[in-house]
Copies of this chain bind each other. A is one copy, B any other.
Amino acid sequence: MVSIKDIAAACNVSTMTVSRAINGSDEISRETKERILKMCDKMGYRPNAAARNLVLNKTDMIGLVIPDIANQYYAYMSKGVSSYLEKLGYGLVLCNSDRNADNERRYLDFLTQRRVDGIILIPIRYHVEDYANLVNVTPFVQVDNYVLDLNASYIGNDNYIGGRKIITHMLSLGYRRIGAILSNKNSTASNERLKGYLDAHREQGVAVDEDILLRSNATFEDGYKLAEVLIDKKVDAIFGINDTVALGVMKYCYNRRVKVPRDLGVAGYDDIEQAAMFPVPLTTVHQPKIRLGEAAATVLLNEINNENHQKQKVILQPELVVRKSCGE
């Protein structure tokens, strides 16, 4: 591979002059610069990033650590991160932890060794100590999941408001027994949405029956199964903690000839692609996934480039998407 030295030799100048030509310094005459650049092109010269990293002490690389790239939510978020970084000339190192703590740890080590300029992390562990060896080593921001006491900026969606919005909407349509299929108790997103559920009821003066608040693994199958349970409990609507669950509910209704929304209102959360495609389109909460990625990248690059990096907390607002599954 041709190096700066080869160019220098071919042009009868020092390597420093070549360096100046490449990096657009003004301490070089226009003619030599053009002569050198032409030679670079001719000889197929490509700057060696490793050598640059070493002396410049930066890599123009950002690490992204996510639980699952095949998940639409993270995929869209990654797209937002990627497109934002591309504009600024940064590269993206994708680390798919597969929801495995060991993988996450290894990836974080990998990234710090690579000296990436910063890390965007969707943490899957719960305690500060889990991320102790990251702090003060590489600038990083946490997205979506909030690790208590972790001294890092946070970028997330407002799950509380989202939950409150959609439940308020359902209550306003007259539903009075809204069953909920939630995630497990560790999920902060689920818990926040539940809080929104409860507050919406309080505001509207509607009593809450805890017996129709169910936990699940938030899968399509769980939605299908628990729909039956909830319908037995005489609910008049079901709120799925995400769209996948809600679609499971709708599938059950279709099979059992329960008409949505006439016999049962259904709502989800996330606004995944299939929500709009379903025969009875799903009323749901839209989360700005791409913007979430962009915001994370924005905050991170800000911290990288500014000395006085105040830790930030950016909460994006979700939007109610009214379709057919709850009536209108």
Contacts and interface: CB of A to CB of B under 8 A. Distances in A.
Interface in A211-250: 220, 244, 247-248, 250
A49 B220 contact: no
A91 B110 contact: yes
Contacts of A145: none
A131 to B, nearest CB: 14
A72 B69 contact: no
Contacts of A114: 49-50, 61, 91
Interface in A28-54: 44, 46-51, 53-54
B70 A83 contact: no
Instruction: Give how many copies assemble into the complex.
Output: 2
Contacts of A279: 250-251, 254-255, 278-279
Nearest to A68: B79
Interface string A161-198: 00000000000000000000000000000000000000
A98 interface: yes
A78 interface: yes
Contact of A93 (B91, B96, B254, B255): B91
A125 to B, nearest CB: 18
B82 A94 contact: yes
A92 B66 CA distance: 13
Main SS of chain A's interface residues?
helix
Interface string A82-102: 110010000111111010000
A75 B48 CA distance: 30
A106 B113 CA distance: 26
A117 to B, nearest CB: 12
A198 B76 CA distance: 37
A273 interface: yes
Given A83-B96, A220-B277, A69 B78 contact: yes
Contacts of A25: none
A54 B75 CA distance: 33
Given A46-B113, A72-B75, A274-B274, 11 more contacts: A1-B137, A46-B112, A47-B113, A50-B115, A69-B69, A69-B79, A69-B82, A86-B96, A86-B103, A91-B93, A255-B279
Interface of A: 1, 44, 46-51, 53-54, 59, 61, 64, 68-70, 72, 75-76, 78-79, 82-83, 86, 91-96, 98, 103, 106-107, 109-110, 112-115, 133, 137, 220, 244, 247-248, 250-251, 254-255, 273-274, 277-279
